[in-house]
Amino acid sequence: MKKFNIAIIGLGGQGIITMGTVMKNAALSSDLRDVSGSERRGGAQREGYVETFVKYIFYENRSEMSDPRKNMHSPMIESGGANALISLEPLETLRGIRYLNGNSTVIFNMTPYIPVSVRMNKTEYPEISFIVSELEKITENIFYYDFDKISIENFNSLTQKNIVALGALFAKTDIPIHTSAIEKILASGKGAKDNLRAFDIGLKL
Amino acid sequence: MGKGNLFVNGIDADKAIVLGNEAIARGALEAGIGYASMYPGTPASEIIAVLDKNKKYIENLYTEFSLNEHISLHGAIGASWSGIRSLCAMKNVGLNVASEPAQFLAYTGVKAGLVLAIGSDPGAPSSSNEQDDRWYSLHTFMPVLEPSNIQEAKDFTKNSFDVSEEFSFGIVVMAPSRLCHNAGTLYFGDLRDRSNIKGNFKKDPENYLNLFGMAVKNHAKFLERSELLKKFLAKSDFNKIINGGRSKTGFISSGVIYAHLMEALDVLGVDDHKILKLGFTFPLSEELFKEFFKGLDEILIIEEAEGFLEFQIKKIAYELGFKGRIYGKEFFKRTGELTLDGVMTGISRFLEKPLPAYFDFAVRKDKELSGKLPQRSGTFCIGCPHRATFYSILKAVGFSNANGKERDVVIAGDIGCYTLGLLPPYSAMDFLTCMNAGLGIGQAISIFDKKKKVIALVGDSTFYHSGIPVLINAVRNNADVLYIILDNSWTAMTGHQGTPSTQKDAFGIATGNAINLKDLVKTLGVSYIKSIDPNSVRRFASQIKSALKEPGVKVLIAKRECVLQEIRRNKILKKNENGISGTGESLYEIQKNRCVKCNECFTELACPAIILKKGVQGEENYYYIDPASCVKCGVCYEVCPNSAIRKVEFDLRPEFKLIEKKIDEELSEVPANI
Ligand code: SF4
Ligand code: SF4
């Protein structure tokens, strides 16, 4: 049995849950594959922290699939247990640090959304360089882009930033899912044309 | 019936990615339910929402968003007694409201199967407490079933209808938010034929007339039925024993915590122990435990909260004369969510087996950092009328965050989107507990502390839920309270279910029977009552000031529809008119040269569409309205004391196009809470 764990984090309204759903649907094409992962929706008002996990499970054979010691999976990822972390908000990346280990890949978005505490002058928003240096203490595989800007430049809209980030995930990690599986799902959903293009832009980053 | 989708039509061997809540609903559908109801509440809302949304494709299905949980469970009982399999859903605290029907259900029994699906909320991310509803069953005697994953959520729910009918109990299916909002693979089963779902209430006075000696008789009958159920559970597939190797230590767990346990054992490389997986966690069968205890001299119970299983199992062990040790809460915390991390740590301590190095490192790193990061909390949506309401209230009675001095007005909070007003920058609530506690507690404070004025807040959905008697009580007993009803016409936080205030649905179709809230309040005996648009913040603030000077119960209705619904409807209507937008376009803009950075709009009103922009080339930082986010509610325009914000009417700026798309995105992920 092999596993590949992805933590996706960001804020309510950024399309985090959609990303998770697209990725999970990509697991359906094989019978020896399972997928689990909870979403943190509660507390997901505007600008609140949201996270969703995608855990791919690859069974070696049928008997493993029916083994009760193998076929039950937590909806959560343990500390240090993520193969990849995608964060759509820079500061939140640091809150996701708990999922990282030395081999994890981090992909994060550079556009900040300023929390109320900073607005009220109670705390300061960390610089991107600080975020990167904290991440570097854990892993070398760090990639960051301004997904908001990329989305606006290409689509005149913020809607596609999550799918661009999804493309980046496939470009920068050895995720054992074929890009065509994602493309098939995007092609059958709403806004297929834009989403396929966004995914491709991400793949080329 | 129409076409529908996989949720409606899926048959045996089809599979899909579904939410835990949807899996519960699908299980009930496969079992042939004809009735489904709830009062919306996170994390359970999608259970009934998905059925309601699809009912046009489903033959003979009645759905209802009831006014409260008490009504909802009674409805399910009525359907059951009419021979209709019924599903009632609620969040954990909903059972407090429905506890009365729940207490009677064992006495009277059911006719057709009845399932009560409860979404619990450990860690309380969307609730005002983290109660473990399983404890109720020690006196309601309702059997409790805990699925561990998506597949079990469907299968257990489906099969529990048979158990309900055979033993004449309503069955509780418990799912914590981690399962409700887990999305994963579900294999469908076959659907029952729905054409013959027809009600027929057969009189059964012996069971249904529950009083005096008859109640005592019914009491004896359900105790007997509970014993029969235990016999059944000793052998049923709902509970499972996994045999171990040579270890004399056994583990017991249930639900999502069992899923954490299995993953933790896998990560720690432990596979030698006998494991009891409980599907039904009430009642527990002594016979099953006799079997499990064999060959063990040590047991660890892995569960959340105060230890419902441990409480029961220690008693059974004593009665069976088990000589070994039983552990539980020594290794797992009683408060907050028990996470995968928590289970791993507990197992590692218990087995004295070290945690993987990467795990320890990540935990340490997180501890180091977390204290240093700016906190982030949710806030009202951009353009939300509640923001205007809180701004107006604080304008009238004083911002506590501005000067740190205590307000001499007590603000009573209540449950709904507006609960967010207790967070900074507003910090505008002095207490918050359960539905309609605000006015009830506020009334007594107004009687005993004459020095302080009391403002009690309530939303329309919460008011209709159980606020009417509270208001009558306040009026009858001469309370001195300003009661502000924030009427946004929707139960917005849980995904926009209608309330009796809803006049038009999202498609613009009139509901026909909306209640006139002002008339209703008048009928309840309130003489001081005014309805006001909260977005007119200056008028609203002065209205609050003058109302506070009056004696008795005063009611202000802050009436403005939830902005998300308004935008959604406008979009739909616009689409239907082939994209022709009739109105001239406008934009709100901060004029840099006039703005003196007084912070009125930025920190006091704190609309997230107003942002601080970095000045370029030595220029100072300045406030800016992000046109991609602003929904043009105009409140900031009214708030600015320096007339620095202006409304610009104009044709098409390139950035203007963003507005609509941004909203599209926001609507695709409507937040769900409380
Ligand atoms: S008009 Fe002002 S208050 Fe209203 S959404 Fe726009 S920026 Fe916010
Ligand atoms: S309220 Fe007016 S003057 Fe004050 S910060 Fe806002 S725009 Fe500037």
A116/B88 Cα distance (integer angstroms): 39
Q: Are residues B556 and B596 in the same domain?
A: no
Structural domains in chain A plus CATH codes: 2-203 (3.40.920.10)
Minimum-distance CB partner of A12 among B277, B361, B671: B671
Burial class (CB in 10 A: 0-12, 13-18, 19+), B503: middle
B439 and B468 co-located in one domain: yes
The CA B401 to ligand 1 mean position distance, Å, reads 22
Q: What is the mean pLDDT of residues B459-464?
A: 96
What is the predicted pLDDT for the residue at B571?
A: 84
* Residues B479 and B392 both lie in one domain: yes
Q: Please tell me the number of Cα atoms within 13 Å of B373 on its side-chain side.
A: 22
- Percent of chain B whose pLDDT exceeds 70: 93
A197 touches chain B (CB under 8 A): no
- Whole-angstrom Cα distance, residue A24 to residue B240? 29
Query: Which contacts of B403-406 are long-range, i.e. CB under 8 A and separated by 24 or more positions?
Result: none
Query: Looking at residue A45, what is its pLDDT?
Result: 55
CATH code of residue B614: 3.30.70.3270
Q: Tell me: do B245 and B225 sit in the same domain.
A: no
Question: Structurally, how many domains does chain B consist of?
Answer: 4
pLDDT digits (tens, 9 = 90+) for B585-625: 788 999 999 999 999 999 999 999 999 988 888 889 999 99
> What is the C-alpha radius of gyration for chain B, rounded to an integer number of angstroms?
28
Which pLDDT score is estimated for B579? 44
Q: Quick check: CB of B634 below 6 Å from ligand 1?
A: yes
Q: Is residue B668 part of a domain?
A: no
* Domain identity same for B157 and B101: yes
What is residue B507's predicted lDDT score, i.e. its pLDDT?
A: 86
What is the widest separation between alpha-carbon atoms in chain B?
Answer: 88
Count of C-beta atoms within a 10 Å radius of residue B608:
21
What atom of ligand 1 comes closest to residue B645's alpha carbon?
2
Q: Angle at Cα B462 formed by Cα B461 and Cα B468, nearest 5°?
A: 105
The pLDDT assigned to B583 comes to 46
* Contacts A37 to B, Cβ<8 Å: 182-184
Share of chain A above pLDDT 70, in %: 97
- Let me know whether B419 and B484 are in one domain: yes
Spatial separation of the C-alpha atoms in residues A99 and A108, rounded to whole Å: 14
One domain for residues B597 and B525: no
Residue B375 lies in a domain: no
Instruction: Single out the residue of A32, A134, A13, A29 nearest to residue A85, CA to CA.
Output: A134
Is residue B33 located within the same domain as residue B181?
yes
Same domain, B350 and B330: yes
Task: Determine the residue among B130, B185, B563 to mutate to test chain A binding: the one whose Cβ has the most chain A Cβ atoms within 10 Å.
Answer: B185
Whether B660 shows a pLDDT value over 60: the answer reads: no
Residues facing A40 on adjacent strands: A51
What ipTM goes with this model? 0.96
Determine how β-strand B35-38 pairs with β-strand B86-91.
parallel
Residue B665 lies in a domain: no
Q: Which of B566, B598, B632 is the last residue of a domain?
A: B566
Q: Do residue B230 and residue B112 come from a single domain? A: yes
Tell me the mean pLDDT in the region A116-139. Answer: 92
Q: What is the pLDDT of residue A43?
A: 45
List, for residues B226-283, the tens digit of each pLDDT value.
999 999 999 999 999 999 889 999 999 999 999 999 999 999 999 999 999 999 999 9
Chain B contact present for A78, CB below 8 A? yes
CATH assignment at residue B277: 3.40.50.920
Q: Give the Cα separation of B559 and B529 in Å (integer).
A: 13
Does B674 fall in a domain?
A: no
Distance in angstroms (rounded) separating the CA atoms of residues A4 and B156: 28
Spell out where B23-126 has E strands. 35-38, 62-65, 86-91, 114-120
Does residue B307 fall inside a structural domain? yes
For tokens 């057709």, the residue is B112
Residue B404 lies inside a defined structural domain of this protein: yes
**pLDDT grade for B581, boundaries at 50, 70 and 90:** very low
Q: Which residues pair with B115 in a beta bridge?
A: B87, B171
Gap from CA of B593 to ligand 1 centroid (Å): 19
Give residue for tokens 């991400």.
A202
- Domain coverage including residue B625: 582-658
* Dist CA B672 CA B495 (whole Å): 6
Same domain, B537 and B588: no
What is the rounded CA–CA span in Å between residue A36 and residue B185? 7
Domain for residue B380, yes or no?
no
Of B312, B340, B370, which residue constitutes the final position of a domain?
Answer: B370
Crossing angle of helices A16-25 and A179-188, rounded to 10°: 110
Asked whether the predicted pLDDT for residue B652 surpasses 70, the reply is: no
Q: In the listed set B342, B370, B398, which residue is the last one of a domain according to the structure?
A: B370
Q: Is the pLDDT of residue B401 over 60?
A: no
Q: Are B474 and B606 members of one domain?
A: no
Task: Report the CATH number at residue B225.
Answer: 3.40.50.970
pTM equals 0.94
Residue B625 Cα to ligand 1 midpoint, Å, equals 7
In this prediction, residues A166-170 reach a mean pLDDT of 97
Given a contact cutoff of 8 angstroms between Cβ atoms, the answer to whether B658 and B628 are in contact is: yes
Q: Which of B362, B365, B424 sits opposite A116 (nearest CB)?
A: B424
pLDDT tens per residue, range B316-371: 999 999 999 999 999 999 999 999 999 999 999 999 999 999 999 999 999 999 88
In a domain, B277, yes or no: yes
Give the whole-angstrom CA distance, residue B260 versus residue A64.
18
pLDDT confidence of B667, banded at 50, 70, 90? very low
Residue from B538, B593, B600, B639 whose mutation best tests the ligand 2 pocket (most atoms within 8 A of CB): B600
Bond from prior residue into A176 cis (ω within 30 degrees of 0): no
Residue with tokens 């404070």: B445
What is the per-residue pLDDT across B162-178, written as a single tens digit (0 to 9) for each? Answer: 999 999 999 999 999 99
Question: Is residue B298 within a helix (H) or strand (E), and if so which, with residue range?
Answer: strand B298-302
What average pLDDT does the structure give for chain B? 92
On the question of pLDDT at B392 being above 80, the answer is yes
